[in-house]
Structure 1
Amino acid sequence: MTTQLTRASTPAGLDPLWDPEAVTVVGASADPSKWGYFLARGALRGAQRRAVHLVNRRGADVAGTATVRSLAEIDGPLGLVVLAVPAAMVPDVVDEALERGATGFVGITAGIDRAIGRSGAERELAARIRAAGARLIGPNCLGVVDVQTDLHLAWGEFHPGHIGVISQSGQLGSEIAELAAQRGDGVSRFVSVGNQVDVSAAEALAALADHDRTRVAILYAESFGDGAAVIAAVRRMRAAGKHTIVLTVGASGASRTAAASHTGSMTSSTDVVDAACRAAGALRVATPSQAVDLAVLLSQAPLPTGGRVAVVSDSGGQGAIAADVAEAAGLRVLPFGSDRRGVIASLLPADAGVANPIDLAGAGEQDIEVYARVVETCLQDADVDAVLLTGYFGSYAVDTPDQAARERDVVEMLATAVAAWGKPVVLHSMCAGSSSLDRARELGLPVFSSVECALGALAGAALIGRDEREVPPSELPQRTPRPATGYLGARALLRSVGVDFPEAVEVRVPDDVRAAARQLSAPWVLKADWIEHKTEHGAVVVGIEDAEAAVAELERMRARLGDGAYVLEEMDRSDHAVEVIAGVRTDPTFGPVVLVGAGGTEAELWRDTVLELAPVTVDTACTMVARLTSHRVLTGWRGRPSVDIDALARTIAAISQLGGWPGVSEIEVNPLRASPSGVVAVDALVIMDPEQA
């Protein structure tokens, strides 16, 4: 993984894609309904910065500019070549352009494999381009835009702003760009990566770390390819002080991949993406609108260090609604202490609400500056991470124009308070637009037209504000090509990393049972070593008290299940034990992941699980346990004693070290019996990789 992370952190050869010395549009068109027209018109916008060549096979003028019929007629460098010709022509155009020293390509054209009649033709094309020292975006992409360098090679209009957009879907990327413009921001760089036969979304994202105009990025991906490269790109963005918001698909039931273990069957693909985002320091959202709302806040305001919000409103009803929406979004609206309430009360009428949410009770109409005074008083509170100002503010400039200048003055005061205290102030205004709200956006005060959008963005910002998850060094014993199979093999593998099991002995015939009974303390458990889900197949018997009873149970099992390795094991009798499931598997994109959840035979029924990329530290394992709904059972429910959470976290961290073990597809421990006296595993399963088993 280290090699992959290093590669992704230094995207090579991409600068000519963002700021080429020249642009050559092959397939420029005079027809305003054609791609070639939009690409040509966009390229000409940067004519003051670079040479622009338009190739039209008929030689027709395009957008009032003369064209050439072929690349051979162009004097000077071709620079970045835009491919907007029929698919069958693309390979010849690329080869000719490479001979002329083209430094990059934007492949708009789709269906090259189909047109050539050969699967893999696109990748062969990309290999020739890379071999010549150039790079390719696409093919089958909507294009690329860079506001900083006056580069506009895409369909549509892009309002300049500070949000980088990297999208596998061109049209969805365009929607994001349009939403950003509607929210008062816009795009800094737009890259539609298309089929990603060369430049990947991860590379394009990593390149934004060095892009001065970009403050935050939105990444839309339907598949992530090299997951390690994506994580590295997000971390590179974080190191540059920038944040990444992720959009993807796969949350539906149809996207889940069933597996032989609970570990594989109880999660969806987006659970793994969420774990990767936590590991890297990004955040996944569900819709383009949510992505843009969060991006606007992150590009304009300081990052909150927590989720404690003060709500200030000039309407009691709007303040109360905001408080409810905030709590539903996972934020906390905590009542102020008596001292803070006293300060706020001194600024407001006697009937104002001062506990949180704050109701100005008409004070803003008497003195508009009270908005700023109350907000700053909230920012001064150590138990407040952010302030929402919701209601009428922003409307004075429209409804009473003589108040416009004073309202803008209040905006200036709010911005000064934000700078002084380093906490965000988010505005939800009833007004569709005013000079005051425009000024607020300019000064880093995000403005939203709905309270749910404002608080949803604030909740996301509070989550994205946490540090990257620490990844522990590996403490694995020397790896063997593959572990032994069956319960005994799983026990041996897990014990090698520190997981505790009861004492056990392999038995095959009655005399083995009698000998084992002399070594082990009763009561015992008898189980068939090779059967995966033992309870479902009658392959386990518990509570056996004497040797002859154990012999009888062995004979009954052999009669049903056949000869083989059976296990006689001491039965765990820990008081107040809670059953937990833990396991690891390898995700094809992001690598090893570790799952923790409510365990036992009903684990799939409750589906109370959390997931992280493996391995995890003990601290991260503690956090995983705390996220479970069943956490309250583990920490003492209705007077029961708490289990040993530290021991449980150490066990989870130990199991996570086995992620990616050679030849192994999944490892599951179910149940782990966690009690006040410690943690012991009483069943385990190893599922071999089918190709290596």
Structure 2
Amino acid sequence: MNELFDPASVVVVGASANPAKWGYWLARGALRGAHRRKVHLVNRSGAVVDGVPSVPSLDRLPEAPELAVLCVPAPALDGVLSQALDLGVRAFVAITAGLDREREQELAARVRAAGARLVGPNCLGIYDSTTSLELAWGTFTPGSLGIVSQSGQLGLELAGLAAQAGMGVSRFVSVGDQVDVTAAEVLAGLAGHDATAAVLLYLESFRDGRALVETLVRLREAGKPVVVLTVGASRAGREAARSHTGALTAGTEVVEAACRAAGAILVQTPAQAVDVAQLLVHTGGLAGERRRASGGWRVAIVGDSGGQGALAADVLARHGLSLPALPDGTANPLDLAGAGERDLGTYSAVIEPLLASGEVDAVVLTGYFASYGADTPALARAELDVVAALGDLVRRHGRPVVVHSMTRDSAAVRALRERGIPVYATIDQVGWALARPSPVAPARSAPPGPASPGRGWGYLEARHLLSGYGVPYGKAMGVKADGDVASAVRGMRGPYVVKAGWLEHKTEVGGVAVGVTDPAAAIRRLRDRLGDGEYVIEELDGRDGVVELVVGGRRDPSFGPVVAVGIGGTASEVYADVTVELAPVDAGTAEAMLRRLRGFPLLDGWRGARKADLRAAAEAVAAVSRLIAERDDVAECEVNPLRVGPDGAVAVDALVVTREEGR
């Protein structure tokens, strides 16, 4: 897509001399790159922008530009596009909004048929600092942060917040409605974009989610971590399916699983996105990779105020950061108690042995530092000397220093950021940002895509399929309402459970009898209410001290097969305690899912109880994940409950739903 980001020539169609109009911003931005490329302006009234005249139509141009920016009313777009394609233009940025979906699809088809590419429509534009390409509304500061956004204005907000945090933009793409060029394609291009150190991604919808995950993995492997912001993701995934897990796994939880699989960092607000990006950009990736031997950052806190140091310790601990004892019994947090004011060099002198000790992964400096020179100009030079020393220490020891300063902007703040030391206005931002960066997860192969729910299997049939993948079940037999019950239970151990095998949610309609000693009588009572059908007689799992889990797999409309596990049983929706991963997972990842549950202490010997067999539970979760990943005819599958005790796991229900014929 060279013509999009470094064209030899560009035309702005709809250029305007009115500073309040889009055409003015686009024309003015294009002209700022006139030293690198030929710039043409089209305006039917012959407007002059910054001294450069426009021509009334595309056919009056002296050549066919490589890139055309279309900023025209929606009714005029078809004609302008056709004229540009006939002229030989092969790259487009369509700002125009207000097209219906059918017109957008027609537009995309015509562009693709001509071998051209199009960003948009309904977008804010594009920017590339390395090629002097400014074809967007707004003002951008050059830097090393790539921004790809489905919402143009939110992308502009991200760029503005980044500038306030001392970061500039390497490439900005507002993808708009993505009728042709997708966010995944733009992201793939950033993997080889040397100026980009980290990426901010905002998406509202995830089309081919698995392909997006693979692209994010490639970016991370290229040393370009990605921060993801979304809202209302995968709305279709929130529609309650037939299973409990379908009702429990919201779209955002699936996006969280996708980010874990990709090694990307999911945040909730633009400010959070920029806070994390600052840590990643200014530390050159140290923040993303340094921490993980003990599962979390080991942080030393250095403060020039006892109160601020103590508060920093509380905040960082709440975010799951570790505050180890420091060498030689030094307290953590370490309070300079006025030593910094007496000699600013104390800051670097104290921090150096901490970075060199190998006992901490990062140092947080909290308090007044970076304010000295702003408040007392006579101290400005000495403070900048300390900044230089801290920058040298970070490079030498390969561990980050993160600063919380009482001043938002000063010469020292700017110098810290220039030397790879992130600076935050609040200690809350420090804790949140340090807690977010995650390690790279292995890339996963893309399993079959989404399927539509359709026919539900009978209980015995579903049980047989799940059992074949490794889900453990007790003995069971099926029998018709008037069948030979005595033969069915031969070799089985009572008491029993009797179930109406053709019903999906049996408990809700009274289709289950538990603790049965006379299965024939139980079947007669059920038949009187529910009618004829196949009833299943199953050995009762009567173990004490078990924990009930719900384990399910389904097909997310965007990300394909996912597996979920939560605290289960009939009250699973009440607990709403569930964790999700893209399927398939191995037993190790499944165990990590179990440990993330709020109810995990129930499995881990809560209040003196014996610990449940975590490995058996994890293997059952992995088995369900393999089924949903490998069987593309299955839309959903579920075990609820999976009863896990100290001596293993037993599944006592089964649900399998296949997709509808021909879908």
Q: How big is each residue's C-alpha offset from its partner over 1:552-574, in whole Å with a ceiling of 9 and x where there is no partner?
A: 11100000110000001111233
Contact 2:474-2:538 at 8 Å conserved across structures: yes
Q: Does 2:415 align with 1:439?
A: yes
Shift of residue 24 of structure 1? 0.4
Indicate how the Cα distance of structure 1 residues 593 and 534 shifts in structure 2: closer, same or farther if over 3 A, else same.
Answer: same
Equivalent of residue 388 in structure 1, options 349, 358, 364: 364
Q: What does residue 53 of structure 1 align with?
A: 40
SS state of the match for residue 555, structure 2? Answer: strand
Q: What does residue 616 of structure 1 align with?
A: 585
Note the 1:94-113 alignment, pairs <5 A. 94-113=81-100
Q: What does residue 5 of structure 2 align with?
A: 18
Shift of residue 259 of structure 1? 2.1
Q: What does residue 549 of structure 2 align with?
A: 580
CA separation in 2, counterparts of 1:253 and 1:664?
21
Amino acid paired to 1:600? G
Q: What does residue 202 of structure 1 align with?
A: 184
Q: What does residue 654 of structure 2 align with?
A: 684
Shift of residue 400 of structure 1? 2.2
CA separation in 1, counterparts of 2:446 and 2:160?
44
Shift of residue 689 of structure 1? 2.9
Q: What does residue 80 of structure 2 align with?
A: 93
- Let me know the Cα RMSD of the aligned residues: 2.1
Shift of residue 193 of structure 1? 0.6
Equivalent of residue 120 in structure 1, options 102, 109, 118: 102
Q: What does residue 215 of structure 1 align with?
A: 197
CA separation in 2, counterparts of 1:112 and 1:248?
24
CA separation in 2, counterparts of 1:483 and 1:68?
62
Q: How big is each residue's C-alpha offset from its partner over 1:622-680, in whole Å with a ceiling of 9 and x where there is no partner?
A: 11111112211112122222122112111111110111533332111011111222111
Shift of residue 309 of structure 1? 1.6
SS state of the match for residue 657, structure 2? Answer: strand
CA separation in 2, counterparts of 1:219 and 1:230?
11
Q: What does residue 551 of structure 1 align with?
A: 520
Q: Does 2:592 align with 1:592?
A: no
Shift of residue 482 of structure 1? 9.8
CA separation in 2, counterparts of 1:261 and 1:484?
11
Indicate how the Cα distance of structure 1 residues 484 and 179 shifts in structure 2: closer, same or farther if over 3 A, else same.
Answer: closer
Q: What does residue 139 of structure 1 align with?
A: 121
Q: What does residue 297 of structure 2 align with?
A: 307
Indicate how the Cα distance of structure 1 residues 199 and 587 shifts in structure 2: closer, same or farther if over 3 A, else same.
Answer: same
Q: How big is each residue's C-alpha offset from its partner over 1:16-53, in whole Å with a ceiling of 9 and x where there is no partner?
A: 11111111001111111111111100000000000000
Contact 2:604-2:612 at 8 Å conserved across structures: yes
Q: Does 2:474 align with 1:498?
A: no
Equivalent of residue 468 in structure 1, options 432, 441, 447: 441
CA separation in 1, counterparts of 2:456 and 2:465?
8
CA separation in 2, counterparts of 1:95 and 1:473?
38
Q: What does residue 11 of structure 1 align with?
A: none
Indicate how the Cα distance of structure 1 residues 183 and 474 shifts in structure 2: closer, same or farther if over 3 A, else same.
Answer: closer
SS state of the match for residue 229, structure 1? Answer: helix
CA separation in 2, counterparts of 1:628 and 1:559?
41
Contact 2:148-2:174 at 8 Å conserved across structures: yes
Contact 2:387-2:412 at 8 Å conserved across structures: yes
Q: What does residue 268 of structure 1 align with?
A: 250
CA separation in 2, counterparts of 1:254 and 1:486?
26
Contact 1:278-1:469 at 8 Å conserved across structures: no
SS state of the match for residue 52, structure 2? Answer: coil
CA separation in 1, counterparts of 2:649 and 2:662?
32
CA separation in 1, counterparts of 2:263 and 2:489?
53
Q: What does residue 4 of structure 1 align with?
A: none
Q: Does 2:371 align with 1:413?
A: no
Note the 1:318-329 alignment, pairs <5 A. 318-329=308-319
Q: What does residue 349 of structure 1 align with?
A: none
Q: What does residue 62 of structure 2 align with?
A: 75
Indicate how the Cα distance of structure 1 residues 274 and 85 shifts in structure 2: closer, same or farther if over 3 A, else same.
Answer: same
Equivalent of residue 184 in structure 1, options 131, 147, 166: 166
Contact 1:90-1:112 at 8 Å conserved across structures: no
Amino acid paired to 1:311? I
Amino acid paired to 1:588? P
CA separation in 1, counterparts of 2:236 and 2:333?
42
Equivalent of residue 642 in structure 2, options 669, 672, 675: 672
Indicate how the Cα distance of structure 1 residues 52 and 534 shifts in structure 2: closer, same or farther if over 3 A, else same.
Answer: same
CA separation in 2, counterparts of 1:604 and 1:319?
42
Q: How big is each residue's C-alpha offset from its partner over 1:248-276, in whole Å with a ceiling of 9 and x where there is no partner?
A: 11289999322221101112110000000
Shift of residue 55 of structure 1? 0.8
Q: What does residue 513 of structure 1 align with?
A: 485
TM-score by length of 1: 0.90
Contact 2:299-2:363 at 8 Å conserved across structures: yes
Q: Does 2:31 align with 1:44?
A: yes
TM-score by length of 2: 0.94
SS state of the match for residue 606, structure 2? Answer: coil
Q: Does 2:622 align with 1:653?
A: yes
Q: What does residue 532 of structure 2 align with?
A: 563
Indicate how the Cα distance of structure 1 residues 600 and 469 shifts in structure 2: closer, same or farther if over 3 A, else same.
Answer: farther
CA separation in 2, counterparts of 1:474 and 1:678?
30
Indicate how the Cα distance of structure 1 residues 692 and 667 shifts in structure 2: closer, same or farther if over 3 A, else same.
Answer: farther
Indicate how the Cα distance of structure 1 residues 482 and 222 shifts in structure 2: closer, same or farther if over 3 A, else same.
Answer: closer
Number of aligned pairs?
650
Q: How big is each residue's C-alpha offset from its partner over 1:181-205, in whole Å with a ceiling of 9 and x where there is no partner?
A: 1111121111111111001111111
CA separation in 2, counterparts of 1:663 and 1:448?
51
Identity %: 53
Equivalent of residue 537 in structure 1, options 509, 525, 535: 509
Indicate how the Cα distance of structure 1 residues 644 and 469 shifts in structure 2: closer, same or farther if over 3 A, else same.
Answer: farther
SS state of the match for residue 54, structure 2? Answer: coil
Q: What does residue 144 of structure 2 align with?
A: 162
Q: How big is each residue's C-alpha offset from its partner over 1:38-83, in whole Å with a ceiling of 9 and x where there is no partner?
A: 1100000000000000111122311211211122221233111000
SS state of the match for residue 563, structure 2? Answer: strand
Indicate how the Cα distance of structure 1 residues 663 and 112 shifts in structure 2: closer, same or farther if over 3 A, else same.
Answer: same
Shift of residue 294 of structure 1? 0.8
Shift of residue 474 of structure 1? 8.6
Q: Does 2:226 align with 1:244?
A: yes
Q: What does residue 263 of structure 2 align with?
A: 281
Indicate how the Cα distance of structure 1 residues 323 and 691 shifts in structure 2: closer, same or farther if over 3 A, else same.
Answer: farther
Amino acid paired to 2:275? D
CA separation in 2, counterparts of 1:474 and 1:16?
34
Shift of residue 536 of structure 1? 2.0
Q: How big is each residue's C-alpha offset from its partner over 1:87-144, in whole Å with a ceiling of 9 and x where there is no partner?
A: 122122212212222120000111234xxxxx52222222221222221000111100
Shift of residue 469 of structure 1? 4.2
Contact 1:137-1:196 at 8 Å conserved across structures: yes
Q: How big is each residue's C-alpha offset from its partner over 1:376-425, in whole Å with a ceiling of 9 and x where there is no partner?
A: 22223434221110100001112222222221111122112211222211
CA separation in 1, counterparts of 2:615 and 2:175?
45
Per mean C-alpha deviation after superposition, the further-off stretch among 354-363 and 137-146 is 354-363
CA separation in 1, counterparts of 2:430 and 2:282?
13
Indicate how the Cα distance of structure 1 residues 578 and 454 shifts in structure 2: closer, same or farther if over 3 A, else same.
Answer: same
CA separation in 2, counterparts of 1:510 and 1:121?
62
Amino acid paired to 2:63? G
Indicate how the Cα distance of structure 1 residues 128 and 474 shifts in structure 2: closer, same or farther if over 3 A, else same.
Answer: closer
Shift of residue 429 of structure 1? 0.6
Equivalent of residue 598 in structure 2, options 629, 654, 673: 629
CA separation in 1, counterparts of 2:481 and 2:433?
65
Equivalent of residue 173 in structure 1, options 137, 151, 155: 155
SS state of the match for residue 657, structure 1? Answer: helix
Q: Which runs of 5+ in 1 are unaligned?
A: 1-13, 114-118, 343-353, 476-480
SS state of the match for residue 57, structure 1? Answer: coil
Amino acid paired to 1:241? G
Q: How big is each residue's C-alpha offset from its partner over 1:328-366, in whole Å with a ceiling of 9 and x where there is no partner?
A: 223222333xxx144xxxxxxxxxxx4211111111112
Per mean C-alpha deviation after superposition, the further-off stretch among 172-181 and 418-427 is 418-427
CA separation in 2, counterparts of 1:59 and 1:551?
92
Contact 1:167-1:221 at 8 Å conserved across structures: yes
Q: Which runs of 5+ in 2 are unaligned?
A: none
Amino acid paired to 2:48? D
